[in-house]
Amino acid sequence: MSLKSFFIILLVMCLPLSGCWDRWELNELSLIVGMAIDKDEDEYILTMQAMNPAEIASQETGRGYAQAMNVQERSKTIHESLRKMVQKSPRRAFISQLKVLIISEEVAKDGLEKVLDFFYRDHESRSDYYIVISYDNKASDVLDIITPLENLPSQNAFDSITFSLRSYGGTKAITIDELYQEMMAEGIEPSIMGITVSGDIEKGRTKANAEVNSPFSMLHINKAALFKENQLVGWLGQKDSKGLDYLTHDISDSVGSFTCPGGGQIALEVKDVQRQLKTSIDNDQPKATYKFEIEATISEVDCTTLNLALPSSYKKVEQLASDEFKLTLNSTIEKVKELNTDVFGIGQNIYRNHPDFWEAHKEEWDELFKETEIDVEVNIQLTDSGSIVNSFLKVGDQK
């Protein structure tokens, strides 16, 4: 082998060993944990919340600096706004630690696909952050609030959604991947959790908001934003948002208040929910049936005439609770039908189980959905009454 050939082979072998040529050191990056998207005419206003690791990780009092810095940029595209951040911050924006993406109501009405394209394409972003829609305030206002229990408002929103999902329900926790599936799949429209700022926003921006027992302003995870063709068309309130959660997700832990036989209120803690959706086609008319099998325990009793020592009392509570819960779900169904957007995924169920019918009628599904009969069957079973049987009120009456 000639010397020339040897050097050529050696050069070719060295090409894959170029190393991390595009690497960025940690001290050169701004870790973005929250992003908010507002709009002004034809420009997006992007607010980025960069954490200050030195202050958050400090075991002592730190230097007294803010634990996060909000930087706002505007451009006609999201990516340009993100890169322009370096003109105000000495570090490059890095979004792999993103916790929450907040989209304003105005932007959501224009269409989700216009603002989410960058987040689907970017190789640096992960897919485990939550997406929420702000209402009654700008999206950037959410990142301005000094939250009492969490160092960062973006972390506060992330934890509120996570723990609400685990312990109460009524929270449409949706990540970028899950949203993409709902946006692209046939027979289902997206729904996203809402967020707002309650109280005095101006005082909420000050450090004093975290120094009092009753904060001047707080973040509130509430409502559900409903979409049609990826555009925001309306909202569901808290009660109907919880109904939507039951109709579309598997809830394993929640609490509900129901009317006692004879008056008063009783609280039931839901331990297990088995939900089943079946669709059928009868004379070219689709029909949907939800069946719920729910196991619950009695967690609070304010019923003066209910004797829980009697098995018949359990049956009465089960029946009344089942009927009330059915009314709640029917209310949610009617309000969704008024907005004429299939966030339940009934069309998706028909697409999977009755493909011939779907192929023939998918173009007219908007009209068919409004006319689709949706039945709800609920069976609540009580498995426990807690550490006592009757309430103190009942025990007092028996003396």
The token pair at 73 is 């940029």
Cβ-Cβ contacts under 8 Å for 354 (sequence gap 6 or more): 279, 281, 286
For the chain, domain boundaries: 26-57+65-236, 249-392
Give me the pLDDT at residue 10, please: 65
Burial label for 302, CB within 10 Å (0-12, 13-18, 19+), is middle
Helix (H), strand (E), coil (C) string for the chain: CCHHHHHHHHHHHHHHHCCCCCCCCHHHEEEEEEEEEEEECCEEEEEEEEECHHHHCCCCCCCCCCCEEEEEEEECCHHHHHHHHHHCCCCEEECCCCCEEEEEHHHHHHCCHHHHHHHHHCCCCCCCCEEEEECCCCHHHHHHCCCCCCCCHHHHHHHHHHHHHHHCCCCCCCEHHHHHHHHHCCCCCCEEEEEEEEECHHHHCCHHHHCCCCCCEEEEEEEEEEEECCEEEEEECHHHHHHHHHHHCCCCCEEEEEECCCCCEEEEEEEEEEEEEEEEEECCEEEEEEEEEEEEEEEEEECCCCCCCCHHHHHHHHHHHHHHHHHHHHHHHHHHHHHCCCCCCHHHHHHHHCHHHHHHHHHHHHHHHHHCEEEEEEEEEEEECCCCCCCHHHHHHHC
Q: Residue 295 half-sphere exposure, CB side, CA atoms within 13 Å?
A: 6
Measured between alpha carbons, how far is 322 from 282 in angstroms, rounded to an integer? 28
Measured between alpha carbons, how far is 179 from 185 in angstroms, rounded to an integer? 10
Give me the pLDDT at residue 124, please: 75
- pLDDT, tens only, 93-132: 778 889 999 999 999 999 998 899 988 888 777 888 999 9
The strand order across the sheet containing 373-384 reads: 254-259, 265-282, 285-302, 373-384
Measured between alpha carbons, how far is 143 from 147 in angstroms, rounded to an integer? 10
Give me the pLDDT at residue 261, please: 84
Mean pLDDT of 365-388: 91
Cα angle 264, 265, 266 (rounded to 5 degrees) comes to 135
Please check the confidence at residue 396 and state whether its pLDDT lies above 50.
no
Give this prediction's pTM: 0.87
Of 69, 75, 74, 76, nearest in space to 91 by CA: 69
Sign of the C-alpha dihedral computed for residues 11, 17, 22 and 28 taken in this order? negative
For residue 30, what pLDDT band results from cuts at 50, 70 and 90?
A: confident
Measured between alpha carbons, how far is 13 from 91 in angstroms, rounded to an integer? 35
Measured between alpha carbons, how far is 291 from 196 in angstroms, rounded to an integer? 33
Mean pLDDT of 54-76: 70
Nearest-10 crossing angle of helices 113-121, 176-184: 120
Higher pLDDT, 303 or 131: 131
- pLDDT, tens only, 334-351: 999 999 999 999 999 999
* CA distances, 170 to each of 112, 155, 245 (Å): 22, 19, 5
The CATH T-level fold of domain 249-392 is GMP Synthetase; Chain A, domain 3 (3.30.300)
Mean pLDDT of 367-388: 91
Of 234, 186, 224, nearest in space to 338 by CA: 234
Please check the confidence at residue 4 and state whether its pLDDT lies above 70.
no
Query: Lowest-confidence range among 2-6, 254-258, 354-358?
Result: 2-6
Please check the confidence at residue 236 and state whether its pLDDT lies above 70.
yes
Measured between alpha carbons, how far is 243 from 254 in angstroms, rounded to an integer? 12
Please check the confidence at residue 40 and state whether its pLDDT lies above 70.
yes
Please check the confidence at residue 397 and state whether its pLDDT lies above 50.
no
Give me the pLDDT at residue 395, please: 46
- pLDDT, tens only, 169-191: 777 889 999 999 999 999 999 99
Give me the pLDDT at residue 97, please: 85
pLDDT cut 70: percent of the chain above it: 87
Mean of pLDDT over the chain: 86
